[in-house]
Structure 1
Amino acid sequence: MKNIVVILAALSGIGFLTSARLPESGPLPAVRPGKSNTTTSAPARPPIPEQKPESGKPETPPVKEDSPNSSAIPEKQGPKLPSQQTLEEQHLTIAAESDAEHSECVKELQSLGVVFKDISRIDDGNGCGIDKPIKVSEVLPGVKIKPDAVFRCPVALALAHWMKESVIPAARIAAPDQGNILAINQASSYICRLRNGAETGKVSEHARGNAIDVASFSFEKGKDIAVKPRREDSTLIGAFQRTVSAAGCLFFTTVLDPESDAAHETHFHLDVLERKGGYRYCH
């Protein structure tokens, strides 16, 4: 009888074990090396790895235009092209000139024999004007400028040195039978306009009193020597023009001659625009 009870109890324990369920989560049995666990199922919802940004840095969340922080990311705008500007749009001001520098320049003009006079400050609006203008009637003793030219003192000083050290010596070699140079005939000094007289673009250096256009040279004898295209001119006059054009870059920061473009076929454009690093543009 005892043996039967023991057997029944053992059978009841086996039935209980077979009907019991394992918990849904819990430690999984370790997999032996070299064998795969084919009976164990993976977790129902495996974690999804976060995607890294391509740049390796966290991305900046976009800012809406109407957001209070919309100014945190400024809108990128391309530079305004010169051709879209007018004198009114450029909001220019007349550059102030140092009293000491102007006084020193005037002393140098006087030592060279330049005939000039100080005139009242010019302000034509829109950035056109000269703080300390002068009117020049003779660039050197006996060499007139026709008509009288108005510009800043540094232009007159560069013009006097160019004439004395380059133009006059070259003319004596190229045109010895024509005598001395009596006059420079200028096409433009101070004038309020854009570059090359265009309707749009940047303001001209003429409008700042920094430039002079030279059209021709008058001599004691013979015809004037006009500034015109002479690239293929193999005469001494052609050599004279090319020589004084090249030498102009020793005294001016910008030299444009008839070989530069169609806008300068009839004159030299000479100016004293200051550029970074002392850069000069001569063509």
Structure 2
Amino acid sequence: MLFRIVSFVSAAIMLMAASLPQAGPIPEQKPGKEQVQPEDEPPIPAEKPVTSPDKPAIPTEKPAVRQEETPAPQPEEQTTGQTQGPPRPPLSIASEPDDEHQACLKDLTAMGATFKEIARIDDGNGCGIDKPIALSSPLPGIAFKPEGKMRCEAALALAQWVKESVIPSAAALDNGKIVTINQASTYVCRLRNNASTGKISEHARGNAIDVASFTFENGKTIAIEPRREDPTLTGAFQRAASASACLYFTTVLDPESDAAHETHFHLDVIERNGGFRYCH
């Protein structure tokens, strides 16, 4: 009995001698109870990111709010499926500066051509001539049949070509002088090659002349036809006339070009970028 009392007193003395901790343990925060900084308020800056082996660094700046991407507007024809862009403006007749037109008339008159100025032509759909002329003779002594309506520029190119290239080439034929240039078409409101669709013809702008044949002083007529393999002087004359035409016209199509031009020269003065010419 005495031994138990002594043991109890000893244990009590030992407990009283022990020192208690100054602060109790800090309870761990339960998952899901972290304080989240609202995105519409500035974040609280921290000097250093807090890291641990199990958790990634906490960013010290507020992450940028991701904006939804707004799709770029699409052309109307892709969104509606009904239209193909804005409607094209109607074709209009090209205006001719008066000073350039008057200079052309002066040069044409100096060549000895016979022509008359006629009223402005406007047949709609881009067909027409601002300052047209009716040509009946490109050079003295040479008729242009039938009389043709065209721009002065086309008539001047025709007169220069005939005088400087066609007449010298024809001298080797022994048929006498050229007395008539027989044309198949000048101004006419149509599409290219008389097609039902496609681009407007240069004939519809007064820029083109179709030469079908040449009639000579002795009554002989040389028709324009395929003559690439023709070994005669007639064949040589036609090939020389076709080749030289590109010195005066910006487009030259002959019977070797395609089936649509097997019976004539197509000659026009369309303006292209860089002075480009198409000769075939």
- Look up the match of 2:187: 190
Instruction: Kindly provide the amino acid, as one letter, of the partner of residue 210 in structure 2.
Output: D
In the aligned structure 1, how far is the partner of 2:68 from the partner of 2:218? 79
* 1:41 aligned onto 2:54: yes
Correspondence for 1:225: 222
Taking the aligned partners of 1:204 and 1:42, their CA distance within structure 2 comes to: 78
Displacement over 6 Å in runs of 4+: none
3-state SS of 2:147 partner: strand
Question: Does residue 1:155 correspond to 2:164, yes or no?
Answer: no
Aligned residue number for residue 33 of structure 1: none
Do the aligned partners of residues 7 and 132 (structure 1) sit closer, same or farther apart at CA in structure 2, a change above 3 Å counting?
same
In the TM superposition, residue 27 of structure 1 has moved relative to its aligned partner by: 5.2
User: What residue ranges of structure 2 are gaps of 5+ in the alignment?
Assistant: 1-8, 35-48, 79-87
Distance 2:164 2:230 in 1: 23
**Any conservation in 2 of the 1:90–1:126 contact (CA below 8 Å)?**
no
Q: CA offset at residue 275 of structure 1?
A: 1.0
Task: Note the alpha carbon deviations across 1:233-256, whole angstroms, 9 max, x for none.
Answer: 222222211111111111011111
State the structure with more CA Rg.
2
Q: Deviations over 1:180-204 (max 9, x none)?
A: 1111100000111111111111111
Match of 2:41 in 1: none
Greater length-normalized contact order (CA 8 Å, ≥ 6 residues apart): 1
In structure 1, the partner of 2:199 is 202
Say whether the 8 Å CA contact 1:151–1:210 is kept in structure 2.
yes
**Unpaired runs of at least 5, structure 1:** 30-39, 51-57, 64-69, 78-88
* Alpha-carbon spacing, 1:118–1:28, altered in 2? closer, same or farther (3 Å): closer
State the Cα distance separating 1:231 from its structure 2 match.
1.5
1:1-283 alignment, distance < 5 Å: 1=9, 4-7=12-15, 21-23=27-29, 40-42=53-55, 61-62=70-71, 70=73, 73-75=74-76, 91-173=90-172, 175-176=173-174, 178-221=175-218, 223-283=220-280
In structure 2, give the amino acid aligned to 1:61.
T
Q: Give the Cα–Cα distance (whole angstroms) in 1 for the partners of residues 185 and 89 of structure 2.
A: 23
Once the two structures are TM-superposed, the CA of residue 4 in structure 1 deviates from its matched residue by 3.9
Contact 1:257 1:264 in 2 (8 A): yes
Q: How high is the sequence identity, in percent, across the aligned residues?
A: 59
Aligned length: 243
Shift of 1:9: 7.5
| Alignment TM-score, normalising by the size of structure 2 | 0.76
Query: CA 1:90/1:225 → structure 2, altered by over 3 Å: closer, same or farther?
Result: farther
Secondary structure of residue in 2 paired with 1:269: strand
For residues 87-145 of structure 1, what are the alpha-carbon distances to aligned partners after superposition, in whole Å with 9 as ceiling and x for unaligned?
A: xx771111121221111111111111101111111111222111111111111111111
Deviations 1:190-240 (A, max 9, x none): 111111111111111111111100011001125311111111222222221
Specify whether residues 92 and 27 from structure 1 end up closer, same or farther in structure 2 by C-alpha distance, changes over 3 A only: closer
C-alpha spacing 1:197/1:59, structure 2 compared with 1 (3 Å): farther
